[in-house]
């Protein structure tokens, strides 16, 4: 009986130990599952937060890029001697309206409203969709942009200084990282609802090219341009940024599953915003990791190994997503070339070592590219850009880098110390590349290109010096018949041969 009692006692102790072991194992499994669940939720939250932050920055940057483009296009007309001279007669001629406004700003860039007004916000000339309309219609539209007109007037007054014979608008300091010439900061811009259509609105005072204002014309005339956001523009933005369902709506109408950025500085609930469906990388993380968590809970002996493997997979996914975002931030989605941001960085690096390693900059604009888009459609234009990007890259080889700055604008940085003559030969080769027809869908797409060349340190040692020099050379090439290359030396020689007071 004693032995039996001892045996029973031992079995009971063993049973309790087994239960304790089972309980401990179950508790450990629960702790592992709970820990993994916390890590998973945090990874999902962080992935979503990172993705949403990146998308907001991309969309906000794209909207600002669209505004900057409209400002640049309008500046070519509002900061022009011909426009300023025409307005000196009190209005614009029908020929000017047709050739410079209808055939250019409307047909090429899609501005549906172009209005001229003084400080009274009363339009004295209005052009809608390429046709001149009554002043009352223009004045009605100005009610939607009255605050911008006041802001532009305030900036104009703050930006002019007396210079003895009249007034002068001060030029802004050049950003060393910018490739475009600065526009005087006297424009007011916004994205807002105009006649039921989300549009970019730009208000700028009309000035002569030298920014000198005679005393008798101190009171400004303002040019107001309105460019609507078309469905095609929205789809192009979606394609470039890799988002979906991009639209403009009020804050109160944004779907719970969507994210948005505010247009302008409006904070009222009725304000219009840009909203889109986020990619939410956290959903990918959750769907990939949750089955592993379940398996880990069922197979306790493999839990630590499995955690290491799966957590590594999560981190790799996040790192890959971040690397892809960094890549997209510096490269053009269509051609694979570096974009303006990447090129600015490369140019800044080149200027830092210019004393030991001279370089050359080629600014390239395609000729007749718009005709290809208008005739064969944007898919043909995209195919043409891809082929030319490959040709340019092959021609430049390891002598430098090729970038697409936007639209039909390219740039080449030759930073291997080649001579200006060699750079000229390379530029001519690029022109041949552009002129060589590109087969597409049974057609031959034909364009050309104009090239402006500037060398450092000969024409400057910083981006603010070398970029304008190459741009001026490019404009000279276009003025000389296109499909040619001109250097900053050609521009300097032309300016020296110009009589005083005559623009080159």
3-class SS string, 8-77: HHHHHHHHHHHHHHHHHHHHHHHHHHHHHHHHHHHHHHHHHHHHHHHHHHHHHHHHHHHHHHHHHHHHHH
Q: Which residues contact 231 (CB under 8 A, 6 or more apart)?
A: none
Q: What is the pLDDT of residue 273?
A: 77
- Beta-bridge mates of residue 191: 200
Instruction: Tell me where in the chain the CATH 3.30.70.270 domain(s) lie.
Output: 340-497
92 three-class SS: coil
- Choose between 54 and 352: higher pLDDT: 352
> Is the pLDDT reported for residue 365 higher than 60?
yes
Q: How far is CA 403 from CA 237, 363, 383, 400, in A?
A: 20, 10, 17, 10
Flag whether pLDDT at 502 surpasses 50.
no
Whether residue 477 is predicted with pLDDT greater than 90 in this model: the reply is: yes
Q: Are 385 and 392 in contact (CB under 8 A)?
A: no
Express each pLDDT in 6-23 by its tens digit. Answer: 345 545 655 565 455 555
pLDDT of residue 450: 95
What is the pLDDT at residue 318?
Answer: 57
Percent of the chain with pLDDT over 70: 75
Q: What is the mean pLDDT of residues 58-86?
A: 84
Nearest to 240 by CA among 388, 378, 366: 378
What is the average pLDDT across 154-174? 82
Mean pLDDT of all residues in 123-147 = 88
Q: Give the CATH fold of the 340-497 domain.
A: Alpha-Beta Plaits (3.30.70)
- Looking at residue 434, its pLDDT comes to 94
Give 485's pLDDT tier (boundaries 50, 70, 90): very high
- Asked if CATH classification 3.40.980.10 holds for the domain at 79-229, the reply, yes or no, is no
Tell me 363's DSSP state: E
pTM for the full predicted model: 0.49
Cα separation of 310 and 271, whole Å?
44
In the DSSP assignment, the letter for residue 194 is: E
pLDDT of residue 191: 85
Q: How many helices (H) and strands (E) does the chain have?
A: 15, 19
Mean pLDDT over 414-440 rounds to: 91
Return the pLDDT at 431: 94
- When pLDDT is averaged across residues 281-310 and rounded to a whole number, the result is 66
As a whole number of angstroms, the distance between CA 183 and CA 186 comes to 8
Residue limits of CATH 3.30.450.20 in the chain: 79-229
CB 178 within 8 A of CB 467: yes
Order of all β-strands in the sheet with 188-194? 131-133, 123-128, 113-117, 222-228, 197-205, 188-194
Tell me the sheet residues that pair with 261: 274
Quick one: 164 exposed, middle or buried, by C-beta within 10 A (0-12, 13-18, 19+)?
A: exposed
Q: Any residues with CB less than 8 A from the CB of 287 and at least 6 apart, and which?
A: none
Lateral strand order in the sheet of 259-262:
244-250, 272-277, 259-262
What's residue 19's pLDDT?
A: 52
Task: Classify 379 as helix, strand or coil.
Answer: helix
Catalytic residue numbers, as ranges: 408
Supply the pLDDT for residue 466.
93
Residue 163: how many other CB atoms lie within 10 Å: 10
pLDDT band at 233 (very low <50, low <70, confident <90, very high): confident
């Amino acid at each position: 009986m004693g032995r039996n009692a001892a045996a029973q006692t031992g079995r009971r102790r063993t049973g309790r130990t087994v239960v304790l072991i089972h309980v401990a194992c179950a508790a450990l499994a629960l702790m592992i599952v709970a820990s993994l669940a916390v890590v998973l939720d945090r990874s999902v939250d962080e992935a979503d937060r990172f993705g949403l932050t990146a998308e907001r920055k991309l969309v906000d940057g794209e909207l600002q890029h669209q505004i900057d483009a409209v400002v640049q296009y309008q500046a070519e007309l509002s900061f022009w001697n011909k426009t300023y001279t025409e307005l000196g007669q009190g209005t614009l001629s029908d020929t000017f309206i047709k050739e410079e406004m209808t055939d250019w700003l409307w047909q090429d860039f899609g501005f549906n409203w172009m209005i001229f007004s003084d400080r009274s916000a009363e339009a004295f000339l209005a052009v809608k969709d390429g046709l001149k309309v009554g002043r009352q219609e223009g004045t009605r539209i100005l009610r939607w942009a009255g605050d911008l007109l006041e802001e532009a007037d305030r900036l104009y007054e703050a930006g002019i200084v007396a210079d003895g014979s009249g007034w002068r608008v001060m030029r802004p300091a050049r950003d060393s990282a910018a490739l475009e010439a600065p526009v005087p900061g006297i424009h007011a811009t916004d994205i807002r609802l105009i006649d039921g259509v989300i549009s970019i609105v730009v208000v700028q005072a009309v000035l002569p090219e030298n920014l000198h204002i005679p005393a008798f014309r101190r009171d400004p005339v303002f040019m107001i341009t309105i460019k609507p956001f078309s469905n095609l523009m929205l789809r192009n933005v979606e394609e470039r940024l890799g988002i979906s369902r991009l639209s403009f709506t009020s804050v109160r109408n944004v779907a719970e599953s969507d994210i948005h950025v505010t247009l302008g500085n409006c904070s009222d609930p009725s304000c219009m915003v840009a909203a889109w469906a986020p990619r939410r990388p956290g959903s990918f993380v959750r769907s990939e990791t949750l089955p592993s968590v379940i398996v880990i809970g069922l197979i306790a002996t493999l839990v630590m190994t499995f955690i290491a493997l799966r957590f590594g997979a999560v981190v790799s996914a996040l790192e890959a997503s971040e690397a892809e975002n960094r890549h997209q931030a510096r490269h053009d989605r269509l051609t694979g070339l570096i974009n303006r941001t990447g090129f600015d960085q490369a140019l800044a690096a080149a200027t830092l070592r210019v004393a030991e390693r001279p370089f050359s900059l080629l600014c390239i604009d395609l000729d007749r590219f718009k005709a290809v888009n208008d005739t064969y459609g944007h898919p043909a234009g995209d195919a043409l850009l891809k082929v030319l990007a490959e040709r340019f890259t092959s021609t430049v080889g390891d002598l430098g880098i090729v970038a697409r700055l936007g639209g039909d604008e390219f740039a080449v940085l030759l930073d291997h110390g080649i001579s200006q003559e060699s750079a000229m030969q390379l530029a001519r080769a690029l022109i041949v590349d552009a002129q060589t027809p590109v087969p597409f869908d049974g057609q031959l797409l034909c364009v050309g290109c104009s090239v402006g060349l500037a060398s450092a340190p000969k024409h400057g040692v910083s981006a603010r010096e070398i970029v304008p020099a190459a741009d001026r050379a490019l404009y000279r090439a276009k003025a000389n018949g296109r499909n040619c290359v001109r250097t900053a030396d050609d521009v300097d020689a032309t300016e020296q041969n110009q009589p005083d007071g005559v623009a080159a």
